[in-house]
Chain A
């Protein structure tokens, strides 16, 4: 069973703080993703990574950065948290092409971190 874990379920931070959200997967997936989920807006991709030390911007990267030093771990960093970053943050992982078509592209999600910035 694929497991994607996130370091916290709930987090409250103050404006201007540096915030780290951690995600770990145990399935040796190449790809990892960070989304934010807001009511009425669905899931929006912040950043993704297809290999260690590689990263690509998603649709809404402003105000965020990421780090992937090990294959199983993908961190999302809010350099200076702001109130408009209050949201649910979801991490996901997937295999890349070549592992078998049936598994390709299917993303497995973590439980989410609900971040409140005050």
Chain B
């Protein structure tokens, strides 16, 4: 079955620390990959997405993610986090077969301490 694994349930960082959130998916074919963010009390919104081309994808608010096909991974990074990055982050993929469905990971809660 298709699935997404997010390695950390809760990450706590101080402001200015670097961030890397792990995401691995299980699917052998072409994938489209996404990171969504949910700020406290707000709706889910797209951070960045990968469809094809350059495996290093840049998103909003200074986030980036790298697709490593050989590792089935799509890790999210930010060089210096801010208190306003406190949120829950979800990795998701679509199998590329025109199914329209996204498979989501269980989410990683990020707490940034000022």
Query: In the bound complex, do residue A42 and residue B102 qualify as a contact, i.e. CB atoms below 8 Å apart?
Result: no
Query: In the bound complex, do residue A105 and residue B94 qualify as a contact, i.e. CB atoms below 8 Å apart?
Result: yes
From B13-21, B43-51, B58-66, B70-78, the one touching the partner chain is: B43-51
Q: Which of A31, A43, A105 is B90 in contact with, Cβ under 8 Å? A: A43
Assembled-state Cα–Cα distance A96/B32 (Å): 14
Q: How many residues belonging to A are interface residues under a CB distance threshold of 8 Å?
A: 28
B9 → chain A closest CB, angstroms = 7
Query: In the bound complex, do residue A110 and residue B9 qualify as a contact, i.e. CB atoms below 8 Å apart?
Result: no
B46 → chain A closest CB, angstroms = 6
Q: Which residues of B contact A101 (CB under 8 A)?
A: 51
Assembled-state Cα–Cα distance A105/B34 (Å): 10
Q: Which of A43, A94, A106, A110 is B104 in contact with, Cβ under 8 Å? A: A43
Q: Does B80 contact A (CB under 8 A)?
A: no
Contact with B along A1-39 (1 / 0, CB 8 A): 000100000000000000000000000000101010000
B-side interface size class: 20 to 34
Assembled-state Cα–Cα distance A110/B42 (Å): 9
Query: In the bound complex, do residue A42 and residue B104 qualify as a contact, i.e. CB atoms below 8 Å apart?
Result: yes
Query: In the bound complex, do residue B45 and residue A109 qualify as a contact, i.e. CB atoms below 8 Å apart?
Result: yes
Query: In the bound complex, do residue B51 and residue A111 qualify as a contact, i.e. CB atoms below 8 Å apart?
Result: no
Contact with A along B18-43 (1 / 0, CB 8 A): 00000000000000101010000011
Query: In the bound complex, do residue A90 and residue B51 qualify as a contact, i.e. CB atoms below 8 Å apart?
Result: no
Q: Which residues of B contact A44 (CB under 8 A)?
A: 104
Query: In the bound complex, do residue A105 and residue B106 qualify as a contact, i.e. CB atoms below 8 Å apart?
Result: no
Q: Does A67 contact B (CB under 8 A)?
A: no
B5 → chain A closest CB, angstroms = 11
Nearest B residue to A98, CB-CB: B98
Q: Which residues of B contact A41 (CB under 8 A)?
A: 106
6 new A-B contacts, CB < 8 A, other than A4-B43, A48-B100, A102-B51, are A43-B104, A48-B101, A58-B101, A94-B100, A106-B34, A109-B45
